[in-house]
Amino acid sequence: MGMNKNTVLGWATFLMIGMGVALILLGAYKYNDVAGWGFATVGIGFFCIAWVFNALKGRV
């Protein structure tokens, strides 16, 4: 299976979104104190990085 740069960026975007959702859900449901805010913030950061990966697709 040949993976060019766009395919790699596509998979990276997909995995980052999945991890971001998991972190936000962990922060929302498992940790109800300050740690929950940390998890949610990191999850939003994952979304931002995934957005950058998606924007790079086709340009690299």
Domain boundaries, the chain: 5-56
For residues 60 and 4, is the Cβ–Cβ distance under 8 A? no
DSSP state of 59: T
Reading the block at residue 2, the tokens are 């040949």
pLDDT tens-digit profile, the chain (60 residues): 667 888 888 888 889 999 989 988 888 888 777 888 888 889 899 999 888 888 887 776
For residues 21 and 46, is the Cβ–Cβ distance under 8 A? no
The span from the CA of 24 to the CA of 46, in Å, is 10
